[in-house]
Amino acid sequence: MAAVAKLLNGHVLDKSNRNIDLNDEKYQGKFIGLYFSAHWCPPCRNFTPVLVEFYKKYAEEKKLEIIFISSDNDDESFNEYYNDMPWLKLDFKERQIKEELDTKFEVDGIPSLILLDGDTGNVLCNDARQQIQFDDKQGNHFPWNTPQTKKSSRSCICC
């Protein structure tokens, strides 16, 4: 998990706004989904409930943790949107880290869900949204080792 922890530079928070140490043994062996999304984006607002349902059903079984990376315009919108999410978040104040993640993972539209090997930080699937929403709704083929696939045209590049 050290690789993912380094990417996020210790700025991951839980629902109670407590800092999370991704190097803690409870995160070892997990898959990490970086969820790039925003309150103002209609496709994001449609996908988030689908992702919440998938997470609630399968996170424990599939060793999945998700971290919300917000593209919201202000803290109030961020908090309102995040309120419905059961997973971790990158501190909204860390806009520089968010921009670096956008660049590193070539996020050119939202919603976007990038699946990483939590221990190595390697990309396993650069379009996990496509898998969850359309191709593999029950996660039968999780963790979707498809880093070479192109992003779905269903991502909202205008947002």
For 14-38, what is each residue's pLDDT tens digit?
A: 999 999 999 899 999 999 999 999 9
Task: Give the separation between CA 6 and CA 76, rounded to whole angstroms.
Answer: 27
Q: Which helix (H) or strand (E) segment is 80 a member of? A: helix 75-82
Domains of the chain with bracketed CATH? 2-135 (3.40.30.10)
Question: Mean pLDDT score of the chain, rounded to an integer?
Answer: 90
For 103-136, what is each residue's pLDDT tens digit?
A: 999 999 999 999 999 989 999 999 999 999 999 9
DSSP strand pairing (88-90 vs 12-13): antiparallel
Task: Give the separation between CA 8 and CA 154, rounded to whole angstroms.
Answer: 27
Asked whether residue 156 carries a pLDDT value surpassing 50, the answer given is no
First to last CA, the chain: 31
> Concatenated DSSP letters for 17-57?
S-B--TTSGGGTT-EEEEEEE-TT-HHHHHHHHHHHHHHHH
